[in-house]
Structure 1
Amino acid sequence: MHSQTDRPAPALLIEGAQVILPDRMQHCSVRLEDGVITGLDVPRDGAQLIDARGLILAPAMIDIHGDAFERQLMPRPDVFFPLDLALLESDRQLAGNGIATAYHALTLSWEPGLRSVERGEQVLDQLTALAPRLRIDNRLQLRWETFCFEARPLIARALTSAQVPALAFNDHTSMAVLHPDTPLQSRPFDHDPGFPVTDMTSAAFAQKMSARALRSGLSREDYVQLITRIWQRRPEVPAAIDTMAQLGRAAGAPMLSHDDTQLKTRQFYRDRGARISEFPMRVEVAQAARDAGDFIVFGAPNVVRGTSHIGSPSAAAMVQQGLCDILASDYFYPAMLAAVARLRADAVAPLPALWQLVSQSPARALGLQDRGRIEAGARADIVLLDWPEGASPAPLLTLSAGRIAHAGRSFGV
């Protein structure tokens, strides 16, 4: 679902920038042609010149999980805008933030409204139709709510597409009905027979469901009745997960588990082929993922804000402890670059190592072997940054497969 055009991208030579390479910073020229990096410090050979003196050149960022596009789809509760308008705007925002590959975290839920299966089908079809007009590589993370059996045909169809989506296993249903005496971060394995369930007939539970009901376009009472009916599916959920995981493995889809709280949870999904732990909610779970060689994802907004908005581990601390491989935009596209800047300012690690959190590591986790680094033969997904010492960075130029996706000023191309 990436942008395509009949007009080939011009050959370019970017000179004068300080370049973020996989293991070091280096002043060198970078040549691009036919959407690929063709060499470092090689002859100009007729390429157009981009003067990048005083700037930093980096691999464009890869967002493994971003749901900020939902704000373009539904900027206010139950207020929807045309899908093409919303997705084109999300594409522009991504390019403007230096992101050239984005996996839209498309929630497929039993809820009506924004996160319904019907809406998911529309997004999938619209992204396909818009592909020739999109500036960056727009892909999908199928964020499957495991109680939503209605989504299975859509997931099966999406997994057969040329650009295989990622498949994430979410269980916000069990989280929603968790007894209030049990902290979210320490809840048991979701399929534990002794899982502590709240009283779904109580006024407190109805109040808790208010925001979800608003998002779904239902009254609070109707939403409570719906989730109560859906909860009755619980005995069938493990078998449904097994079936979808088998489809994901057969398609070669990268698979993730979401909000793991127990070692048993991580092991359950690892056994089914999900080798990415997305937003683990306890340090012990992140450590278990690291010990098993899984990829570990945390939210970039967590780094920027200095804390998780729901009380999960500090992402900055996880980076420092070697328990975070990937930073995702989560709900705010600018957070990826801002998180790297904050970690750099705090001297957590050298910039090349920090940049891997938003480029090479997500590329590896997602099986995108052609991007995420600046070297000969790699896809020409790059970003030029205006990054004065001690100031916040700003993307000035984003190239996707060598084509201009965003330009904050004229570079003569």
Structure 2
Amino acid sequence: MADADRFSICGGNVLLPQGLCQTDLCIDDGVISHAGSAPRRGNVIDASGLYVLPGIIDLHGDAFERQIMPRPGVHFDLQLALADTDRQLVSNGISTAYHGVTYSWEPGLRSRDTLLRIMDAMANAARHLACDTRLHLRHETFNLDAETEILGWLAEGKIDLLAFNDHTPDILRKLSHPRDAMTVLQRSGLELGALRELAERVNARGAEVGPSIARLAAAAVAAGVPQASHDDPSPETRQWYQAMGCGISEFPKTRETAALARKLGNHVVFGAPNVVRGGSHQSNAVSAAAMARDGLCTVLTSDYYYPAMLPAAFRLNTDGVCTLPEAWAMVSSNPAEAAGLSDRGSLAPGKRADVLLVQAPQGRVPSVVAHLIGGRVAYAALGSGASLFTGRQESAALDAVRTAVAA
């Protein structure tokens, strides 16, 4: 085994499954091999004064839409968007990312054509991306004509997480208010009258939606694809989805709904931006921190802002909501469990070596100093002031980083 495939991370405050402790972590060939004092070998990283944490797993990140269309009607090449998103992900500690791509009955940004191009671009870019990037298909349940195609994708293993969205009533409401309608009109490219006519035609097929969801849910269960219901409005809705094998509740609308989800053993997802900002950007939405305090939030996601996940976990600890190990579970081991990723999410021997070195000076936002994904250096903040590599000249250490990244 080459030295480039071996790392000893020494002297850090390491989050092991049993808790935080100052110890060493050894990585061999992309896998965590040992936690505890051990002979130093390969690339030695001095983690003194740093936290050593499992890589972040982001189950729901839809900020990718803004990478594709940063301004209304302004589109960028998908390979460029994926590459820049990848850099944002790894620099913010995200080792595994589920790109939330909406497949709607709307034309434009959330159309079938856009989804197919994104799927093709993700497949072509996969070997060039540092972050393990996966597809979270956000299926608009009134998009009934897409059912057959999605059934095929589930059977072929093209979908990594399936979410059921129902934004049709909200779109119809927005179209009745000129200011609210602008976002929908800009992403669809249609005039108001044409989009309203389309939305009303789609909405008229409401009786077909429930049976369609049931067929898709059964296919996802058969394919072993995790499922989420989005914006559950009531406990009854969550119970209905649970009965079909849909075990993740994304952004439930009420405390009662979240409470039932937890009683059923479901994972409950809220947004990290909600925590960092001290509340939701939507005036009627519940507080993610309050949900976490009451045990009603088990997973935090980037939602619409990738940099929020790292500071959200630390803020929950700083604000006394929970301990850092409990908060970090919301961005690592819990999402791994929700998505069925048994090979990652904790720094246990035998797990994939997705490892973060994080500095968290008092009074400042925590930041990633170094990020290993599968035991390879995906990111190193060489200007952070931390002297990471020891036992060799700086130029040789930089060569090791470049070699690891290039590989």
Superposed pair shares fold, TM > 0.5: yes
Q: Secondary structure at the match of 1:167?
A: strand
C-alpha distance after superposition, 1:114-172 (max 9, x if no partner): 11111111111111111110101000111000011233344234324557510000000
Q: Work out whether residues 370 and 379 of structure 2, in 8 Å CA contact, stay in contact via their aligned partners in 1.
A: yes
* In 2: Cα distance, 1:406 partner to 1:31 partner: 18
Which residue is 1:112 aligned to? 107
Which residue is 1:268 aligned to? 240
Instruction: Tell me how far 1:210 sits from its aligned partner.
Output: 2.5
* In 2: Cα distance, 1:128 partner to 1:259 partner: 29
Q: Work out whether residues 155 and 219 of structure 2, in 8 Å CA contact, stay in contact via their aligned partners in 1.
A: no
Report how many aligned residue pairs link the two structures.
384
Q: Work out whether residues 23 and 352 of structure 1, in 8 Å CA contact, stay in contact via their aligned partners in 2.
A: no
Q: Secondary structure at the match of 2:34?
A: strand
* In 2: Cα distance, 1:208 partner to 1:262 partner: 25
Which residue is 1:397 aligned to? 370
Bigger mean CA deviation after superposition, 384-393 or 101-110: 384-393
* In 2: Cα distance, 1:127 partner to 1:8 partner: 31
Corresponding position: 1:85 with 2:80: yes
Bigger mean CA deviation after superposition, 272-281 or 217-226: 217-226
List aligned pairs for 1:12-411, cutoff 5 A.
12-44=7-39, 46-162=41-157, 164-177=159-172, 204-205=176-177, 208-310=180-282, 311-409=284-382, 411=389
C-alpha distance after superposition, 1:1-32 (max 9, x if no partner): xxxxxx99521000011111233210111011
* In 2: Cα distance, 1:164 partner to 1:46 partner: 40
* In 2: Cα distance, 1:387 partner to 1:120 partner: 38
Q: Work out whether residues 206 and 221 of structure 1, in 8 Å CA contact, stay in contact via their aligned partners in 2.
A: no
Is the alpha carbon distance of 1:173 and 1:8 closer, same or farther for their aligned partners in structure 2, counting shifts above 3 Å? farther
Q: Work out whether residues 386 and 395 of structure 1, in 8 Å CA contact, stay in contact via their aligned partners in 2.
A: yes
* In 2: Cα distance, 1:9 partner to 1:289 partner: 45
Q: Work out whether residues 8 and 41 of structure 2, in 8 Å CA contact, stay in contact via their aligned partners in 1.
A: no
Q: Secondary structure at the match of 1:100?
A: strand
Q: Work out whether residues 209 and 224 of structure 1, in 8 Å CA contact, stay in contact via their aligned partners in 2.
A: no
* In 2: Cα distance, 1:61 partner to 1:8 partner: 26
1:392 aligned partner, one-letter code: V
| Structure 2 stretches lacking a partner, 5+ long | 383-387, 390-396, 401-407
Q: Secondary structure at the match of 2:306?
A: coil
* In 1: Cα distance, 2:114 partner to 2:212 partner: 21
* In 2: Cα distance, 1:114 partner to 1:347 partner: 40
2:330 aligned partner, one-letter code: L
Q: Work out whether residues 384 and 397 of structure 1, in 8 Å CA contact, stay in contact via their aligned partners in 2.
A: yes
* In 1: Cα distance, 2:256 partner to 2:67 partner: 36
Q: Work out whether residues 32 and 351 of structure 2, in 8 Å CA contact, stay in contact via their aligned partners in 1.
A: yes
C-alpha distance after superposition, 1:76-130 (max 9, x if no partner): 1111101111011111110010000011111000111111111111111111111
Structure 1 or 2: more helix by fraction: 2
Identity rate, percent = 45
C-alpha distance after superposition, 1:327-377 (max 9, x if no partner): 010000011112112112112121111100100000000000111101111
Which residue is 1:194 aligned to? none
Bigger mean CA deviation after superposition, 385-394 or 37-46: 37-46
Q: Secondary structure at the match of 1:76?
A: coil
C-alpha distance after superposition, 1:39-60 (max 9, x if no partner): 0125336322111111111001
Is the alpha carbon distance of 1:55 and 1:228 closer, same or farther for their aligned partners in structure 2, counting shifts above 3 Å? same
Q: Work out whether residues 78 and 216 of structure 1, in 8 Å CA contact, stay in contact via their aligned partners in 2.
A: no
Which residue is 2:404 aligned to? none
* In 2: Cα distance, 1:160 partner to 1:384 partner: 38
Q: Work out whether residues 301 and 339 of structure 1, in 8 Å CA contact, stay in contact via their aligned partners in 2.
A: yes
* In 2: Cα distance, 1:216 partner to 1:9 partner: 48
Instruction: Tell me how far 1:205 sits from its aligned partner.
Output: 4.5
* In 2: Cα distance, 1:146 partner to 1:254 partner: 17
Instruction: Tell me how far 1:263 sits from its aligned partner.
Output: 1.2
Is the alpha carbon distance of 1:164 and 1:37 closer, same or farther for their aligned partners in structure 2, counting shifts above 3 Å? farther
Q: Work out whether residues 396 and 408 of structure 1, in 8 Å CA contact, stay in contact via their aligned partners in 2.
A: yes
2:229 aligned partner, one-letter code: S
Corresponding position: 1:10 with 2:5: yes
1:271 aligned partner, one-letter code: A
Higher RCO (CA 8 Å, separation ≥ 6 residues): 1
Q: Work out whether residues 164 and 251 of structure 1, in 8 Å CA contact, stay in contact via their aligned partners in 2.
A: no
1:360 aligned partner, one-letter code: S
